[in-house]
């Protein structure tokens, strides 16, 4: 049964105006320009009391590292988290809360790139930059000790990065977690239109518009921004979470189906009834349960539950 909190959020989400952003692509550039004038958010005081927060600025983008006070547990994975936002929106407080919750449950540290946004920077630049960051972290922590995670566009970026590692024959992370992943920038999956009236956040026309801005000179079906169309063999153990009131349910199901067709099904697949886009990040009982299950999945993959 859907919680009272989830019902309230479903009612309140339209008031935030996110659906308007994705439903009116002709106004998107104007609204992006307005967003750029706002300061990029960082973890709030609640998390600063629990973690040491460091920020590196020598790259072409800020890198925020979240580390438990006293250090991460030796058995915990190192989380590399890519935030969502259609590749055009900055990181939000909900992202920091989810990252903080996961790190707190696992005793883990996290690296969070505040990656350059589209349309100013496109996939041809952003993905190699994230690959270089992964290589740094793999050298520092060991590839098998890294858990890559992302929500929405960040989920697509996580999958595209892992595919790039596989193509290059590089060591893979020990696990991957995809929250409401956007893995088809064409936004052409059959069934989206039927779900769209129930989705209080996304609209297909807005996703396609965001995809065009992130694509640059690439076609929208290029695996670097639409990893659903790339080679899916050899992925690390992968968890996928999605809701049935999210138009990206279509992407998640196609991804699951393709993985099953090649004999490599997701290690964990959760499809939650009536849940909205990125419900795992929302302050509702279902969201808290999803993060707890994510932590349990990561413990199992990385051995953090072993004495």
What are the tens digits of pLDDT across the range 115-161? 999 999 999 999 999 999 999 999 999 999 999 999 999 999 999 99
> Which residue in the list 151, 246, 251, 302 is annotated as catalytic?
246
What are the tens digits of pLDDT across the range 44-77? 999 999 999 999 999 999 999 999 999 999 999 9
**208 domain-assigned:** yes
What are the tens digits of pLDDT across the range 243-258? 999 999 999 999 999 9
**307 domain-assigned:** no
**Alpha carbons 246 and 29: distance in angstroms, whole number:** 24
Region 84-109 average pLDDT = 98
What are the tens digits of pLDDT across the range 243-297? 999 999 999 999 999 999 999 999 999 999 999 999 999 999 999 999 999 999 9
For 35, the domain range is: 4-302
**162 domain-assigned:** yes
Residue 175 catalytic?
Answer: no
DSSP 17-84: THHHHHH-GGGHHHHHHHHHTSPPP---HHHHTTEEEEEE-SSSS-EEEEEETT---TTSPEEEEE--
What are the tens digits of pLDDT across the range 7-41? 999 999 999 999 999 999 999 999 999 999 999 99
pLDDT confidence of residue 1:
84
Q: Say how many domains are in the chain.
A: 1
Average pLDDT taken over every residue of the chain? 96
> Which residue in the list 78, 83, 95, 277 is annotated as catalytic?
277
Longest dimension (CA), the chain: 56
**Alpha carbons 264 and 256: distance in angstroms, whole number:** 9
CATH at 173:
3.40.50.1820
**24 domain-assigned:** yes
Residue 152 catalytic?
Answer: yes
**246 domain-assigned:** yes
**92 domain-assigned:** yes
Model confidence at 307, pLDDT cuts 50, 70, 90, reads very low
Residue 277 catalytic?
Answer: yes
CA distances from 247 to 16, 81, 111, 188, 199 (A): 18, 22, 29, 11, 6
> Which residue in the list 111, 152, 175, 180 is annotated as catalytic?
152
Note whether 104 and 198 are within 8 A (CB).
Answer: no
**21 domain-assigned:** yes
**58 domain-assigned:** yes
pLDDT at 80 over 90: yes
């Amino acid at each position: 049964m859907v919680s009272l909190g989830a019902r309230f959020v479903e009612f309140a989400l339209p008031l935030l105006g996110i659906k308007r952003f994705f439903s009116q692509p002709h106004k998107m550039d104007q609204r992006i320009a307005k967003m750029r004038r706002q300061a990029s958010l960082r973890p709030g005081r609640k998390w600063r009391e629990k973690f040491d927060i460091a920020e590196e600025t020598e790259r072409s983008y800020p890198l925020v590292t979240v580390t438990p006070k006293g250090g991460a547990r030796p058995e915990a994975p190192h989380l590399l988290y890519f935030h969502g936002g259609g590749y055009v929106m900055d990181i939000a407080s909900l992202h920091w809360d989810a990252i903080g919750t996961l790190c707190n449950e696992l005793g883990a540290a996290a690296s969070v790139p505040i990656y350059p946004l589209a349309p100013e920077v496109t996939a041809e630049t952003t993905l190699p930059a994230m690959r270089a960051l992964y290589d740094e972290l793999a050298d520092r922590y060991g590839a098998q000790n890294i858990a890559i995670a992302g929500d929405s566009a960040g989920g697509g970026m996580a999958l595209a990065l892992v595919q790039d590692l596989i193509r290059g024959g590089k060591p893979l992370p020990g696990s991957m977690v995809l929250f409401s992943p956007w893995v088809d920038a064409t936004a052409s999956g059959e069934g989206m239109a039927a779900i769209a009236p129930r989705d209080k956040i996304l609209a297909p026309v807005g996703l396609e518009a965001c995809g065009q801005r992130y694509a640059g000179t690439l076609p929208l079906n290029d695996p670097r921004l639409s990893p659903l169309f790339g080679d899916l063999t050899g992925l690390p153990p992968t968890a996928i979470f999605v809701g049935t009131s999210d138009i990206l349910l279509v992407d998640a199901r196609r991804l699951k189906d393709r993985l099953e067709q090649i004999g490599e099904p997701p290690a964990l697949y959760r499809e939650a009834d009536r849940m909205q886009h990125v419900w795992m990040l929302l302050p509702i009982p279902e969201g808290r349960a999803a993060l707890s299950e994510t932590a349990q999945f990561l413990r199992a993959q990385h051995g953090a539950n072993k004495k």
